[in-house]
Amino acid sequence: MTEPGRDAPVALVTGSSSGIGAAVARRLAAEGMRVVVNSARSQEAGRKVAAELPDAFYVAADISVREQAEALVAAAVERYGRLDVLVNSAGVTRVVPHQDFEGASAEVWREILDVNVIGTWQVCVAALPHLRAGGDGCVVNVSSVAGLRPAGSSVPYAVSKAALNHMTRLLAAVTGPEVRVNAVAPGLTDTEWTADFEEPRRWMRTHSPLRRVGTPEEVAEAVLAMINARWTTGEILLTDGGTHLR
């Protein structure tokens, strides 16, 4: 990767120490963007990702805490003087069978919603003034096919992604023309989160139209496509190997 210029766009990617977020950070850097890498816990891994990229840096922040979400955005703007792209990739889940009503406790609901919905909202609110300042800001939320059909690792997780999809459309309706807001909704993707999802992986190989699990790099390409889709806002892009057709 070549060193980006001083006028290169700046992208903040939350939850980018591993998996989809890390792949997005690497892909945007390859496009010449200056990237802010973030995680709440995997700080060593986050610093390693940032060290791989030209003119990138790492900020540890738990987006479910408003002050930390605001500090994350402030750190990006202080470092680079601008913010052009926000990719909300930070998310959590818990594997709870949908019929296990007791397992989906209030604590599980709060943990998931605090990050996937409220945390994402807090970063968006902090970032929007800076995204608007450039006149061509862009937000891409990393959702899930579970937000569009009755599936997913747990009911709270699926509901959080459905809420994120609706948040995407609601924000898109009021942030234009300066800011576009879209989402990508991946299906089962090969990350450390899904390493032991044996039955879903088997189903993908035998029933989904493309007969395989996706990769983080393929989701990153979808994120980049939404960043570049300059006449598109309020859209949820499915990238799931055709799973939704089944």
Q: What is the pLDDT of residues 141-171, one digit of tens each?
A: 999 999 999 988 899 999 999 999 999 999 9
Query: Residue 242 domain-assigned?
Result: no
Query: Residue 1 domain-assigned?
Result: no
Q: What is the pLDDT of residues 43-99, one digit of tens each?
A: 999 999 999 999 999 999 999 999 999 999 999 999 999 999 999 999 999 999 999
Q: What is the pLDDT of residues 95-119, one digit of tens each?
A: 999 999 999 999 999 999 999 999 9
CATH number at residue 228: 3.40.50.720
Query: Residue 240 domain-assigned?
Result: no
Single pTM value for the model:
0.94
Query: Residue 245 domain-assigned?
Result: no
**Catalytic annotation present for 157:** yes
Confidence tier at 1 by pLDDT (50, 70, 90): low
Predicted local distance difference test score (pLDDT) of residue 187: 87
Q: Which residues pair with 65 in a beta bridge?
A: none
Spatial contact of 54 and 23, defined as CB atoms under 8 Å apart? no
Domain that holds residue 59: 10-235
Pick the catalytic residue from 124, 157, 204, 240.
157
- The dihedral through the CA atoms of 16, 98, 121, 70 has a sign that is negative
Q: Does residue 2 register a pLDDT over 70?
A: no
Q: How many domains does the chain have?
A: 1
Query: Residue 51 domain-assigned?
Result: yes
Whether the bond between 150 and the residue before it is cis, its omega within 30 degrees of 0, is no
Give dist(CA 174, CA 153) in Å, integer: 32
93 burial level (CB within 10 Å; 0-12, 13-18, 19+): buried
Spatial contact of 11 and 76, defined as CB atoms under 8 Å apart? no
Q: Does residue 212 register a pLDDT over 90?
A: no
Query: Residue 243 domain-assigned?
Result: no
Query: Residue 171 domain-assigned?
Result: yes
Query: Residue 68 domain-assigned?
Result: yes
